[in-house]
Amino acid sequence: MTGHALPLRSRLAAKGLDGVTLMAVPAAIFLIALFIYPFGYGLWLSFKPKDGGWFLANYVKFFSDPFLYDTIYTTLALAFPVTIVNLLFAVPVAFRVRLMKHQRLLTTILVLPITLGTVLVAEGMLNYFGPQGWFIRTLVSTGLFSPGQIKLVNNYWGVFISLVITGFPFTFLLTLSYVSGIDPALEQAAATLGARSAARFRHIFLPLLMPGLAITFCLSFVQAYSVLPSAVLLGAPAGPTRVISIAAYQAAFEQYDRPMASAIAMIMGFVQFAVVVAALSLRNLFYRGPAAGAKG
Amino acid sequence: MSTAVLDTPSAAPATPATMRSVGSRLWIIAVWTTMIFFIVNLFGIIAAVVTSSFATRWLRSWLPQGWTTKWYFSAWAEFQLTEVLVVTFQIVGAVVLLSGLIGVPAAYALARREFPGKKALMLLFLLPLLVPPVTFGIPLATVLYQSGLGGTMWGVILANLVPTVPFVILVMIPFIEQIDPRVEAAARVFGAGTLRMFVHVLLPLLMPGILAALLLVLVRTIAMFELTFLTAGPTSQTLVVALYYAVFAAGVRAVQSIDAMAVVYMVTTLIWLVIALRFVNPTQMVTRAKRPSH
């Protein structure tokens, strides 16, 4: 504007606050309004039980009703093994694929289940892994199994398989991006000094990969922990696969008890947060430093 | 392989080389077999849906008794797919447009300026991508319903913008950083203000990156189930949510009809995926990559 505004303007500009910086304001306001505020509101609401009473009543109710608190364990019992299985498969495959010249076809195929999403995978699995589906038919035709002996949908394994089908590509593509970020010169140096492939993996790659794997674990776990559609469609949502997001959904949209739903969502967020913190602090026990072998 | 893993570096050279090569060859075969098994089953799942959608009757046999396209017509009418598709593209279009309009300028500010509180701002933009949609979707749906937006199309659009705006920002930052700041300085020397410089100089340069980011947003929004499911009302369902309700109420309609709808959804998603993959690397679907495009 005029004389007075200018010095302030240049002082702010010196700190990096000028017209360009202001362009970040709409995005910041948007996310504060639709991400931070709902979280805060949800937390506040969870302390205001629908039927009145003590401010912790919702949490007390959750932790005293096995139908509710068991969902934590049910979800962990799915999310943990799935994440571990996905990681255990993703690492060796990523190490093979890293050497491939034409990775694009494979990565394109693997991006399919992520893009199509859990709902479509669930519908496909009901056909394919169902009692009359091609998978069971193939197993029965080998003569090793009798019809009806194995059941792969509407139980724990249905949800497990669906989480592998959508989760493995995610874990793999993340791992691959970390593995390809490691300078091949480091491996060549180790090989020159006589380290065999297993030793190279254990002493060179694994320590360099650990931070990336910890983050991959966290992201994969958090995704598996918030499973909703496949737990309903492919699982037994009243019993063995009644995961915590089903409990939260039912509280919000079937009982219309929004404070309780918020409390369950907060508990879900807290469990995820606790596992992530645990995984990341384990990571700190390992090597931390550059994975690119350039001169530092 | 199990013995090889246990080797210490000092013991490694002692193992006979022949044994190792057999072991590592078996290991490679095992890795690829697992991978092929996974891909075969993945295609089996997709093929089962497509086969079923064209089947007259398919019970207790490897293949259906006959083939027909009638389920597509009945699914189209039963599930009101015209309306659902119109709603889907209205929502997706608005999400793509708005996340570009809000995200690109913010990415520019973050790429070009150092200012107090930048780290906190970056964290604010990272969190919605790290926290899974169900976790923040329930409190968000509560707020939207209380403000009267829940169940409306705008509610769905706002909810979907929560992860897509940060996504655009994080994809665009490295893309903007690689553009030479001297180009902008030159524009400013010639008297262009921030807005004019942005529209006439930066936007054309950034177009490939914006296109890639927005195509990824498009594909992700078509497939975004959780947030839409938690905030949509009967008139604001997208295709994936309508598909969920159809599968959920299976038994009411013929399986083939649901599968026909699933194929419609699949085709809708895959068309955009194919277009997107012309501009981006598949790994960018998950990694919010460092390289802009390929």
pLDDT at B24: 80
Q: Considering only the beta carbons, identify the residue of A31, A104, A125 that sits closest to B125.
A: A31
> How many CA atoms lie less than 13 Å away from B246 in the CB half-sphere?
29
Query: Cβ of B226 under 8 Å from any chain A Cβ?
Result: yes
Contact residues on chain B for A273, CB-CB shorter than 8 A: none
| CA neighbor of A112 nearest in space, from A123, A102, A120 | A120
ipTM of the complex: 0.87
Q: CA-CA distances (angstroms) from residue B210 to A62, B53, B218?
A: 45, 37, 12
- Coil, strand, or helix at residue A217? helix
Q: Extract the residue ranges of chain A whose pLDDT is less than 50.
A: 1-3, 295-296
CA distance, residue B114 to nearest chain A CA (Å): 6
pLDDT at B11: 41
Q: pLDDT tens, position by position, for chain B (294 residues)?
A: 333 443 444 444 444 444 557 888 888 899 999 999 999 999 999 999 999 999 988 888 889 888 999 999 999 998 999 999 999 999 999 999 999 999 999 999 999 888 888 999 999 999 998 888 999 999 999 999 999 998 999 999 999 999 999 999 998 998 898 888 888 888 888 888 878 888 888 888 899 889 989 999 999 999 999 999 999 998 999 999 999 999 998 777 888 999 999 999 999 999 999 999 888 877 777 765 444 333
A263: nearest CA partner in chain B: B139
- Best probe of the A interface among B41, B123, B127, B134, by most A CBs < 10 A, is B134
CA distance, residue A24 to nearest chain B CA (Å): 4
* Domain B71-287 is found in CATH 1.10.3720.10: yes
CA distance, residue A14 to nearest chain B CA (Å): 9
**Number of Cβ within a 10 Å radius of residue A17:** 16
pLDDT at B289: 44
Architecture of the CATH domain A57-283: Orthogonal Bundle (1.10)
DSSP secondary structure of A151-169? --SSSHHHHHHHHHHHHHH
Judged by CB atoms closer than 8 Å, whether chains meet at A27 and B226 is answered as: no
**Number of Cβ within a 10 Å radius of residue A235:** 27
* Domain regions of chain B by residue span: 2-53, 71-287
* Domain regions of chain A by residue span: 19-48, 57-283
pLDDT at B15: 46
User: How far apart are the C-alpha atoms of B277 and B216, rounded to whole Å?
Assistant: 9
B7: nearest CA partner in chain A: A199
B289: nearest CA partner in chain A: A177
